């Protein structure tokens, strides 16, 4: 972190050298000492410090300087750095001007020259002023800063991406945060270039795609090896478990994720029924722990990359990525999971990412402070989101078509919701429309047998069921009528599918119709939609990978 700056200005080289020497002797451990030899140079230096967002703690300026006097320098410093302390250096003959400047330039103090000895005539005063400044000083954020519009879908995507990888960042709303405009002006970009990412190393990127941002963050975006024992596609709980067990058992393991680790479970604000965590943990924390564990054991984690095709050549599985590169592996574990179904109603598509969100969208919770929000859905994910949002929103409305939550939500969540005063259940209700010009402002809801009603809403979170993310693989692997991957006995028990299995042995429990390609987690037909079962299937898939590789 950069040290705050003490700036001293004097056109007399001997005086400037003396004050600089004394300041460095006393304050160099905690402050950077800058010295300039004229008023115009001081004004330019102040402008540069402001453009670079440098922390300025104190300015000492000599009064009698040609072109620009000390009071003018301190007045300019006040306009750029209102919290910085301002001290005028003056001779005895100029004390009247100094006293007048206390009011006109709002000086904090004036010091007479000479100040010898500094231990008595300089340091005590400056220590008091700097202690006062430190009491209110808030160091500038040293990590990634993201400047954008609150209701921009692209800004939302970048926030979700950074938070999904647990990358610390500072969000600056261009319309509300004064610092955002300053940073943007200094970078040479304008409002049309938003969102803009400011990196700690000084690099500034306008509207970056996730792949470029991942490269800059040091994430792996290209395979390191020519051939892997197993490639896991998808980094939800099942995929992360497969990667942990594959790497721990000595397999050359690569896991590929197109978005962020954790899948749908990763967006859960609190998972309270996972074994071994009696107080619960967030989905993001679980995903990050598993990701760290897998990489520590030797698995390679590639993201954000998407597998768009898979084929079998000479017994090897060849994966084609979105950037057209290819990866060769001996076995594959498909843990692509599921995605939320979209809701069809006027305004939803137009406002998606600008107040309308599919899933928890935890990064937008603070924007809902003291505002009403609506949640559509009655499953556990909807209940966890309602509990999380209730700490920010003035009111959380859960909209469901049925009569109650009992058929679709765990009992512990239903009890928590019933005990939370600012959560209200709206049974036998549907959302008919989302309203707003550039962001969500209201929703139109309709209860059974009643007329539609329009209500204010800051955000709408949609959890209306899921569909398997298997469209890209259905040409190769057999799926059921709903798109879920068929595995094991399901392939040979049904005459329609049994002819597709060519091996003499029966398929392994989690094996698809392609030998050596396995499926685990929510995208597999017959899977139980629970985090614990997904972790179990991902772990078990590695056992079958070993059996296949040993054939």
Which residues 6+ apart lie within 8 Å of 23 measured at CB? Answer: 6, 8, 31, 33, 126
Q: Write down the pLDDT at residue 5.
A: 95
Is the domain spanning 227-339+467-549 CATH 1.10.600.10? The answer is no
Q: Write down the pLDDT at residue 102.
A: 64
Q: What does the pLDDT look like over 266-308, one tens digit per residue?
A: 777 788 888 888 878 888 889 999 999 999 999 999 989 999 9
Structure tokens given for 76:
């300019």
The predicted model gives 124-136 an average pLDDT of 90
Which residues 6+ apart lie within 8 Å of 380 measured at CB? Answer: 409, 410, 413
Give Dmax (Cα) for the chain. Answer: 107
Work out the mean pLDDT of the chain and round it to a whole number. Answer: 90
Q: Tell me which of 204-213, 371-380, 445-454 is least confident.
A: 204-213
CA distances in angstroms from 213 to 170, 209, 218, 264, 325, listed in the order given: 15, 6, 9, 22, 19
How far apart, in whole angstroms, are the C-alpha atoms of residue 353 and residue 161? 13
| pLDDT of 500 higher than 80 | no
- Banded model confidence at residue 400, pLDDT cuts 50, 70, 90: very high
The predicted model gives 499-522 an average pLDDT of 90
Q: Write down the pLDDT at residue 302.
A: 93
- SS3 of 48-91: HHHHCCCCEEEEEEECCCCCCCHHHHHHHHHHHCCCCEEEEEEC
How far apart, in whole angstroms, are the C-alpha atoms of residue 88 and residue 461? 57
Q: Write down the pLDDT at residue 47.
A: 92
| pLDDT of 377 higher than 90 | yes
| pLDDT of 201 higher than 60 | yes
Bond into 503 cis (ω within 30): no
The predicted model gives 208-216 an average pLDDT of 86
Q: Write down the pLDDT at residue 202.
A: 80
- Banded model confidence at residue 230, pLDDT cuts 50, 70, 90: very high
Q: Write down the pLDDT at residue 274.
A: 87
Q: What does the pLDDT look like over 435-468, one tens digit per residue?
A: 999 999 999 999 999 999 999 999 999 998 889 9
Asked if residues 522 and 338 have their Cβ atoms less than 8 Å apart, the reply is yes
Q: Tell me which of 345-349, 353-357, 497-501 is least confident.
A: 497-501
How far apart, in whole angstroms, are the C-alpha atoms of residue 244 and residue 294? 4
* Coil/strand/helix, residue 361: coil
Q: Write down the pLDDT at residue 334.
A: 98
How far apart, in whole angstroms, are the C-alpha atoms of residue 487 and residue 332? 13
Q: How far is CA 422 from the centre of its chain?
A: 27
Q: Which fold has domain 5-136?
A: Rossmann fold (3.40.50)
- Banded model confidence at residue 92, pLDDT cuts 50, 70, 90: low
Q: Write down the pLDDT at residue 138.
A: 80
- Banded model confidence at residue 499, pLDDT cuts 50, 70, 90: low
| pLDDT of 93 higher than 60 | no
The predicted model gives 23-32 an average pLDDT of 93
Higher local confidence (pLDDT), 62 or 545: 545
Q: Which CATH number fits domain 144-217: 3.20.20.70, 3.40.30.10, 3.40.190.10, 3.10.310.10?
A: 3.40.30.10
Q: Where in the chain are the domains?
A: 5-136, 144-217, 227-339+467-549, 356-464
The predicted model gives 246-252 an average pLDDT of 97
Domains 227-339+467-549 and 356-464 share a fold: yes
CATH code linked to domain 356-464:
3.50.50.60
How far apart, in whole angstroms, are the C-alpha atoms of residue 9 and residue 7? 7
**Residue 117: CB atoms within 10 Å:** 10
- Banded model confidence at residue 16, pLDDT cuts 50, 70, 90: very high
């Amino acid at each position: 972190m950069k040290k705050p700056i003490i700036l001293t200005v004097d056109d007399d080289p001997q005086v400037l050298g003396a004050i600089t020497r004394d300041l460095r002797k006393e304050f160099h451990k905690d402050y950077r000492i800058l010295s300039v030899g004229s008023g115009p140079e001081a004004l330019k230096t102040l402008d540069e410090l402001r453009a670079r967002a440098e922390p300025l703690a104190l300015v000492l300026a000599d009064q009698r300087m040609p072109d620009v006097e000390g009071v003018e320098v301190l007045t300019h410093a006040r306009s750029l750095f209102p919290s910085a302390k301002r001290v005028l250096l003056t001779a005895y003959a100029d004390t009247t001007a100094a006293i007048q400047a206390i009011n006109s330039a709002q000086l904090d103090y004036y010091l007479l020259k000479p100040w010898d000895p500094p231990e008595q005539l300089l340091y005590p005063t400056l220590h008091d002023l700097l202690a006062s400044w430190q009491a209110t000083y808030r160091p500038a954020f040293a990590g990634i800063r993201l400047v954008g519009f609150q209701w921009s879908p692209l800004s939302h995507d970048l926030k979700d991406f950074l938070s999904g990888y647990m990358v610390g960042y500072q969000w600056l709303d261009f319309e509300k945060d004064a610092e955002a405009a300053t940073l943007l002006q200094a970078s040479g970009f304008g409002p049309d270039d938003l969102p803009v990412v400011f990196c700690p190393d000084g690099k500034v990127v306008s509207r970056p795609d996730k792949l470029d941002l991942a490269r800059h963050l040091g994430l792996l975006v290209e395979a390191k090896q020519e051939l892997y024992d197993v490639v896991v596609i998808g980094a939800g709980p099942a995929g992360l478990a497969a990667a942990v067990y594959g790497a721990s058992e000595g397999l050359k393991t690569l896991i590929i994720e197109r978005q962020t680790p954790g899948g749908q479970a990763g967006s859960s604000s609190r998972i309270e029924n996972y074994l071994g965590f009696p107080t619960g943990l967030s989905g993001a924390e679980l995903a990050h722990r598993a990701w760290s564990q897998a990489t520590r054991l030797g698995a390679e984690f590639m993201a954000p990359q998407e597998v768009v095709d898979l084929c079998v050549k000479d017994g090897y599985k060849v994966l084609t990525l979105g950037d057209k590169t290819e990866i060769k592996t001996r076995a594959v574990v498909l843990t692509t999971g599921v995605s939320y179904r979209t809701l069809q109603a006027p305004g939803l598509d137009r406002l998606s990412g600008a107040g309308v969100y599919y899933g928890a969208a935890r990064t937008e919770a603070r924007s809902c402070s003291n505002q009403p929000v609506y949640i559509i859905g009655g499953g556990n994910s909807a209940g966890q989101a309602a509990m999380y949002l209730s700490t920010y929103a003035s009111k959380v409305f859960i909209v469901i078509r049925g009569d109650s939550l009992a058929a679709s939500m765990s009992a512990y969540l239903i009890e928590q919701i019933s005990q939370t005063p600012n959560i209200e259940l709206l049974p036998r209700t549907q959302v008919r429309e989302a309203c707003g010009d550039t962001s969500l402002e209201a929703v139109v809801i309709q209860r059974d047998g009643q007329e539609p009603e329009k209500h204010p809403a800051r955000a709408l979170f949609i959890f209306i069921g899921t569909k398997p993310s298997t469209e890209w693989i259905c040409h190769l692997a057999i799926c059921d009528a709903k798109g879920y991957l068929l595995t094991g006995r399901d392939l040979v028990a049904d005459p329609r599918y049994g002819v597709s299995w060519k091996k003499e042995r029966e398929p392994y429990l989690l094996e698809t119709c392609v030998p050596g390609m396995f499926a685990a987690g929510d995208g597999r037909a017959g899977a139980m939609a629970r985090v614990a079962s997904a972790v179990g299937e991902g772990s078990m898939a590695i056992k079958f990978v070993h059996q296949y590789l040993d054939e």
